[in-house]
Each structure stands twice: as C-alpha cells, then as structure tokens.
Structure 1
Amino acid sequence: MPDLIAGLKDLGRKPGEDIVIECPLTGKRYEGLAPAMSDLVKLPVDVLVSESEPAGHIARSVPQTVPNVTILSGDPVGSGLAQSLAKPGGNLTGLTYYATELDGKRSELLKDMIPGISSVGVLANPDVSYLPFETDTRNAAKLLGIMLVVRQVQEPSALDGAIHQMKAEGAQAFFVLPDVMFASEAKHVADGALAEQLPLMSCGAWFTELGGLIAYPADYASLIRRLALYVDRILKGAHPGDIPIEKVTRFELSLNLRMARTIGVTSPPKLLMRTDKVIE
C-alpha cells in the first residue's frame, strides 16, 4: 500500500522504524480476506487497514477491540457497518464514496458519450451482491430508458464469454461494477471490450489507462493516502467509533480518446470540456 505509506510519512511516521506494516496476500480473492485478517489479529496488530468494503464486512468478525480503517463503497449505515457517519460506533471508521446517484451519473455520462444508446451490458460479481451497485444501476437505467444485459461473473476465465454474450444480446456498451476481481483483471476486461468493439464505462481510472473508454471514479490513491490520518489518530488513542466516517464528494471523469477513435466513437466537445483526464 504505497499510498498509505506516503500518507504516514506526511504525518511524520517512519514505516519500518516507528511503525510496522504487515500486508498478507489474499490472492485478490474474497475468500482470502478472512484468513488474512485472522492472521493479522493473531500477530497482534494495533489497527487493521483495508481498501474495500468487503474487507470491512469481514472485519466485523474480528474482536471489537481491533480498530478497522477502510474505504467503503456501499452505504455504511444501511449495511449495518456503522450507526451513523458522524458517530460510527463499533470498531470501524474511514471513508465512503457511496451515493445512490453515482451510478445514475455514470449512466448519464455514457448516454452523453453515445447519444441514442438503448441497451447496456453490466458485469457484476455475485460474491458482492450485498453491495448496492447493481440495484442502483438498474434503477438509473430504468429512469433513462436503457435496457440492461446483466452478466454475473465470479472467475476471470468467464470474462470473455460474458462480454461476448452481452454484445450478442444487443448491448451497445457495458458497465463493469466495482469489484476486486474485476479491478485486478482490468486489462483483461479492457481487451475484451476492444475485441467486441464495445465502449466500456468503469468505476476506476485504471480501466481507461488500460484501454477502457470512460470512467467516473473517486481518486482512490488520495483516499488510501487519507486513511493514514485515521490510522494516526487511532495510534494516538482515539477510538474508531468516535471518528466520523468522511463522505467523499469529488469524482473525476477520465476518457480514452485513443480507444474512442479505435471503436469509432466521437467524443462530444461538451463532454471533453468536463473531462479531468484525457488519454490520447
């Protein structure tokens, strides 16, 4: 977690000297989270830090005496992870970028990019079906008059087939919903989009850097760096349940013009003016 280390250094901490960071491998799979956290608790550790909400859910199974700092992609109150944003209670705090309107905004941006689009594919992982993204995407699509072609994918080996099936069933573009496996397979997903000549809207800027068309994410690197503030406060004696969960409100639009030209999509000037990062 280089961004976390950078944040700790900004606060005067010296990783490897006055603070030790243990980072067990999970194999980038959800089933690896529980044993990894169990191993960390046995060390023991003073704070658990994670980058995703699934890890936050797993952390509920560890002793309540172990503070947990994380980035939440879903609704922390609605999911039961926190009593409120202002006073989470329990052993968890951190940042959340969840907003019910976020998937609607991504749908609107895709429609701005491809006027007249009527059918959109969705890659979703059933392992995180408890997160609200698929439901929010369905609600947004209904409001915008867009038909969805949803494919549930749990394994990387199923990605190519799912993308091909979406195209065969009439999808004119597709979303990839937030998920650890999809994020780790971003190049695979982007290559699949190119092979099928499908515009790809994603939740991470790294997808556009690897060949996706458009993304509207939070700045994850800065979020991870900001987790260091929470770690520092807890190490100084603060209780995680008393530290407010910060709601992220800034998102960045990124656009891969090279991909747009390759698949024959014309970028509207108004959309280009709103873009934070353009890949030529």
Structure 2
Amino acid sequence: MALVGGAVSWPYAARAQQLGKPRRIALIHSGIPADKLTQQDGPFWIRRLYAELRVLGYAEGANLTVERYSAEGHSDRFASVAAAVVSSNPDVIVSNFNALVKAIMKATATIPIVGLTGDPVSDGLISNLARPGGNLTGASIGAGGAMGSKRLQILREAVPAASNVASLFGSSAEQQRSGITPGVKIITDVNEAQLRATFAEMAEQKVDAVLVSETGSFLAQRTLIVALAAQHRLPAMYPYRDYAEAGGLMAYAPDLAELAKRLASDVAQIFKGVNAGDIPFFLPTKFDLVINLKTAKQLGLTLPPAVLDFASEVIE
C-alpha cells in the first residue's frame, strides 16, 4: 500500500475546497504493483479515473486520500488483500477483476465497491445490471466471450496468413468464459520465467500470432510481453490500449476513457450519499481499435486497408 499526495492545479483545488469533507478511496489492482497505481504511472483507465475525479472536484492531495493495494498477480492473495482494505474502512473501494471484487464482497457487505469487471451477472457478482443491489456498482468491460471472439476475428483479419494462433489466459475459468479454444495457453503464475518459457514454447510450436487476455497480471507485465512478442516476431492482439502504447501491435477494447468517467461518477455519487447498489452497472457503448503502425512495419506486416479503416487510432 502507498499513500501519495501531489500538487493540485488551482481550479481543481478551489473546487475541492468547496466540496468540504475529505474523502478516502482504497484503490486495488489484481496485478499492477501498488506503487504504480498513480496519476503518473497507472494503466490508462486509472490515469483517467484520477483526471475525471478532479473534474468532479475530488483531487488527491486536496480533499482526497488514495490508499493503494495490489495482489501483484497472485490470486491466493485476494482474500488477504481484501481483508486489509476492509480493515482500513475507506469511504469507497475501487477495484478491477471479478475474482478480486468477489473477495472484497465476501469481506464486507457495507463498504461501497466500484468495480471495473468482466461480466458481473454471469460471474454472480450481481443479478441485475439496472439495480445491482448490495454494495457493488461499476462498469463492465464486456459481457461473456464477445470481446475475446471479436479480438480474435480482428487479429485473423489483420494477419490472414496466420494459421496457428495461440491464446494466452490467466485461468481456466477465464478461458471457458471466453469460449475460445484454439491454441490455448494458461499461465496461472504470471512471472518473467513463465512468460519467457511460454513464448519459447510458442516459437517451437511455430505459432504465428497470439491473442492476450484481459488478465490483470498480464497487464502488469505488458512491457515484457510486448518485448517477447517482438523478439519472436509474433503479431499480437491485446485487450487494452496500454499494450499498444508500450509497442504492442494492436489492442481492441471498450473506450476506457468512457468507463473511467463512469467510475468517477459512481464514486462521486457515493460520496454524496447514494447507495452503490442503487447505481446501475454501466456497459460500454464505444469500442476502440488502436494499431501501432511502427510495430507492424518492424514485423514486416502490411495491414489490410479494411483493418486500418476500422482503427480508432493509429500510432505512427
């Protein structure tokens, strides 16, 4: 856990002072280390969350304290991390990843939780998107296996010569929810040695493209994963724009700026006394394909015009 303050620009600081009572958030990630969950170093959705909270008048260092926690990619730590968070009794808990959210819900039925999740209904977190009930609300990055299937489709369209596509997952349950079966590789203990071994194995098996799942511990290792894909000259499709920003070939995801704005709104409503369970769960309405054209050129790929036309953003 880390507590970090920071300089706050005058307009946000002034509004924060007007909002009065200081608030406290516990921010938890399943994979990324706690000291990286900051306004400067966090993944894209977390950076945008801070920005949207500032727009709403909640600025870290002025009227907002952020406590940061991480399971660092170890699912066996979810329960202990959840217990530590609950014992600190924050005003709101913000977390990613269904299994981690589930662990937090087991630890508290009263502290409001705002989650960035997969499908919250099929995984039993809530029974109704419109009225979640209990102490959970948030936003879903996509229901069922639709996102994984769409990513696989775009990857095949981008690399039509690829006949042996591998798919990396962090658990069997995640793979089963995705409905994806070809070339499945499951890495439950995500570390450098395992990732290097998996990519070496894919090279031996003559894999010619790879799909990376939404596992939070993969995101924490995105720099290494992107480097290994480049080393083995593997075109790859990723689940978040953070990978493309780090040099990955392409990423297809819900518009994380839109989701972060909704999460910030949820937090602000809870601060003002609204029950989390009365706030509808948000489903994405916009999706982005981000392509790193520099990486495509390094791989010797000429992407089809239809794929480039579909892209929301091209990184030169």
- For Structure 1 versus Structure 2, the TM-score category normalised by the shorter chain is 0.7 to 0.9
Task: Give the corresponding residue for 1:143.
Answer: none
Residues 206-221 of structure 1 aligned to structure 2 (within 5 Å): 206-221=242-257
Cα separation, 1, equivalents of 2:295 and 2:61: 42
Cα separation, 2, equivalents of 1:37 and 1:81: 15
Q: CA RMSD in A?
A: 2.0
Task: Give the corresponding residue for 2:190.
Answer: 155
Cα drift, residue 202 of structure 1 = 0.7
Structure 1: runs of 5 or more not aligned: 139-147
Query: Which structure: greater strand fraction?
Result: 2
Residue by residue, what CA displacement relative to the aligned partner does 1:163-207 show, whole Å, maximum 9, x if unpaired?
121232232100111111110111111111111111011101121
Residue by residue, what CA displacement relative to the aligned partner does 1:121-141 show, whole Å, maximum 9, x if unpaired?
111112xx3335664223xxx
Task: Give the corresponding residue for 1:136.
Answer: 179
What SS does the corresponding residue of 2:180 show, helix, strand or coil? helix
Cα drift, residue 33 of structure 1 = 3.6
Residues 1-280 of structure 1 aligned to structure 2 (within 5 Å): 1-2=38-39, 3-73=48-118, 75-99=119-143, 100-126=145-171, 129-131=172-174, 135-138=178-181, 148-153=182-187, 154-156=189-191, 157-280=193-316
Runs (4+) off by over 6 Å? none
Cα separation, 1, equivalents of 2:220 and 2:204: 25
The answer on whether the counterparts of 1:124 and 1:134 sit within 8 Å (CA) in structure 2 is: no
Cα drift, residue 236 of structure 1 = 1.4
The answer on whether the counterparts of 1:151 and 1:166 sit within 8 Å (CA) in structure 2 is: no
The answer on whether the counterparts of 2:258 and 2:284 sit within 8 Å (CA) in structure 1 is: no
Cα separation, 1, equivalents of 2:70 and 2:156: 39
Cα separation, 2, equivalents of 1:134 and 1:173: 21
What SS does the corresponding residue of 1:88 show, helix, strand or coil? coil
Cα separation, 2, equivalents of 1:124 and 1:40: 27
Moved more, 238-247 or 22-31: 22-31
Identity %: 31
Q: Report the AA paired with residue 249 of structure 2.
A: L
Q: Report the AA paired with residue 259 of structure 1.
A: T
What SS does the corresponding residue of 1:89 show, helix, strand or coil? coil
The answer on whether the counterparts of 2:149 and 2:178 sit within 8 Å (CA) in structure 1 is: no
Structure 2: runs of 5 or more not aligned: 1-37, 40-47
Cα separation, 2, equivalents of 1:48 and 1:137: 32
Residue by residue, what CA displacement relative to the aligned partner does 1:198-226 show, whole Å, maximum 9, x if unpaired?
10111011212222211101233442343
**Distance of aligned partners of 1:18 and 1:260 in 2 relative to their CA distance in 1, 3 Å threshold:** closer
TM-score of the superposition, structure 1-length normalised? 0.88
Residue by residue, what CA displacement relative to the aligned partner does 1:87-114 show, whole Å, maximum 9, x if unpaired?
1112111001213322221111111111
**Distance of aligned partners of 1:25 and 1:198 in 2 relative to their CA distance in 1, 3 Å threshold:** closer
Cα separation, 1, equivalents of 2:272 and 2:175: 34
The answer on whether the counterparts of 2:148 and 2:213 sit within 8 Å (CA) in structure 1 is: no
